[in-house]
Amino acid sequence: MAEYRRILLDGAATQVVRDGDDLVSADGRRVRAGDAVHLPPCEPSKVIAVHLNHRSRVEEFQTALPPAPTFFHKPTSALNAHGGAVVRPERCEYLNYEGEIAIVIGRTARNVSPKEAGDYIAGYTVANDYGLHDFRDTDAGSMLRVKGSDTLCPLGPGLVTGWDFHGKYLRTYVNGELVQDGSTDEMEWDMHYLVADIARTITLYPGDVLLSGTPANSRPVRPGDVVEVEAEGLGRLRNHIVTGPVPIRDDCGAQPTASEEVISTAFGGDWEFRGIRAPQR
């Protein structure tokens, strides 16, 4: 396995290879990994995410998986990196972490089978698919602002090649406390299946990202919190939560809400009984 990162080196975006605690550029320059300013490890033309995939998450919501995966799109303007600040806008309260594993495409993929899909994957990285559920009443279908607002797609720290996704743990920590503890073995649809499914109708280009789903216990975080996602063999992605510099404008558009739909989703309520029982906190 090898790990590639993108960092700012002498003011320029530079690909480096991890060598122990150091990051080394093609021309031999070295920087300590802990001192580097990281960028997302790839430059996707699109980021596609699966809704439900981990069985623990399905059980938490007391629902059932659909017969096939369903997906949503995160704009590339949501991209963030290891060490970056994740913004919870003023007047919003329900910003949830979702620790995930990201698939990074290495070759143009269109109409490939699940058995072939692995040949089109460059590698994997850690992701946190944050959700700003204050906008769920408006964007529950598209998830555009819920999942696509600025800074809500951290990736990193690096892109790891040759990684076997079977039987790997996936954990999330908030301020050092374990809050999600899942495994790739609880995924209903594996990495190759997800790539093949999307590539039936959407061309995937090198650098494109597919997010593979989160386990149970996604919960809200607040400014000042430090959130880390660790995937076995891929490293640990760290970000901190900050308040947005300006409030959400109130002179146009739908406003943040705290409805039963919002609260139930943010605190792990089930999908079938929203509005009937009290949310689980």
28 burial type by CB count under 10 A (0-12 exposed, 13-18 middle, 19+ buried):
exposed
Examine the domain organization and report whether 29 and 138 are in the same domain.
Answer: no
Distance CA 110, CA 108 (A): 7
pLDDT digits (tens, 9 = 90+) for 259-271: 888 988 898 875 4
Domain count, the chain: 2
Do 53 and 176 belong to one domain?
yes
Tell me whether residue 277 is in a domain. no
Whether residue 110 is found in the same domain as residue 219: yes
Give the count of beta carbons closer than 10 Å to the beta carbon of residue 16: 23
- Domain-embedded: residue 172: yes
Rounded to whole angstroms, the Cα distance separating 241 from 147 reads: 15
> Which pair of structure tokens corresponds to residue 116?
């072939």
Is 21 in the same domain as 49? no
pLDDT at 281 over 50: no
Q: Are 27 and 158 contained in the same domain?
A: no
Same domain, 131 and 203: yes
- Examine residue 64 and state whether it is found in any structural domain, yes or no: yes
Are 183 and 140 part of one and the same domain?
yes
Can you name the residues that pair with 226 across neighbouring β-strands?
Answer: 240
* 163 in a structural domain: yes
- 9 and 121 housed in the same domain: no
**Closest C-alpha to 264, from 162, 173, 136:** 136
- For residue 279, being part of any structural domain is answered with no
Q: How confident is the model at residue 278 (pLDDT cuts 50, 70, 90)?
A: low
Q: What is the mean pLDDT of residues 188-193?
A: 98
Residue 244 covered by a domain: yes
Residue 254, domain member (yes or no): yes
Tens-digit pLDDT profile for residues 123-163: 999 999 999 999 999 887 789 999 999 999 999 999 999 99
In 3D space, the residue among 88, 100, 210 whose CA is nearest the CA of residue 149 turns out to be 88
* Residue 29 sits in the same domain as residue 78: no
Using CA of residue 65, residue 71, residue 77, residue 81, what is the dihedral sign?
positive
Together in a domain, 4 and 87? no
**Structural domain includes residue 271:** no
CATH assignment at residue 25: 2.30.30.370
Q: From its phi and psi, is residue 38 left (phi > 0), alpha (psi between -120 and 50) or beta?
A: beta
Please check the confidence at residue 175 and state whether its pLDDT lies above 90.
Answer: yes
* 27 and 72 part of one domain: no
Whether residue 237 is found in the same domain as residue 193: yes
pLDDT per position as a tens digit, 223-277: 999 999 999 999 999 999 999 988 899 999 999 998 888 988 898 875 444 444 4
CATH number of domain containing 71: 3.90.850.10
Identify the domain containing residue 233 by its residue range. Answer: 42-266
